[in-house]
Copies of this chain bind each other. A is one copy, B any other.
Amino acid sequence: MKIGKLAQLAQCTVETVRYYEREGLLAAPARTAGNFRLYGAAHIERLRFIRNCRALDMSHDEIRNLLALADRPAEGCGAVNAVFDQHIVHVDERIRELAQLKEQLSALRQRCAGEQAVDTCGILQGLAAMETEARHERHTHLG
């Protein structure tokens, strides 16, 4: 099958497929005489795997890692578990960060009820007065 069909089956765009090939996530397939990419069942499986990992917000590095592990069927899957556990930690951290953010935002939001002039707006005053904190370095690739 050609790239359009593959992309459709994996629910992504053809540009994304070509991008994954450049990135080394998806092996370069055979070509037709006219230079069109020709994919088979193995490619669908691989791409689906990648897209599912992405749906779980894994980074390309994490995915590359997982794919390499999956390609050595004889080995144990302790490493797979490790990648997964690490990723779950990332997600957890980000959820906690956002929850805290939401509290701050809600507190600020309550400082302005209605339609006063902006120079007495509690939100803007709050934003100007907040204690500026150093940028927290992020330990997760999740934004």
Closest chain-B Cβ to A98's Cβ sits at a distance in Å of: 5
Among candidates B12, B77, B142, residue contacting A118 with C-beta atoms closer than 8 Å: B77
Interface string of A94-126 (1 = CB under 8 A from B): 110011011011101100101111110101100
Number of copies of this kind of chain in the complex: 2
- Verify if A33 is at the interface (C-beta below 8 Å from B): no
Q: State whether A91 and B95 are in contact (beta carbons under 8 Å apart), knowing that A112-B81, A128-B49 are contacts in the complex.
A: no
Some 10 contacts from A to B, beta carbons below 8 A apart, are A11-B133, A51-B132, A73-B118, A77-B116, A81-B109, A81-B112, A91-B102, A98-B98, A141-B143, A143-B143
- A residues neighboring B (CB under 8 Å): 10-12, 45, 48-49, 51-57, 66, 69-70, 72-78, 80-81, 84-85, 87-88, 91-92, 94-95, 98-99, 101-102, 104-106, 108-109, 112, 114-119, 121, 123-124, 127-128, 130, 132-135, 141-143
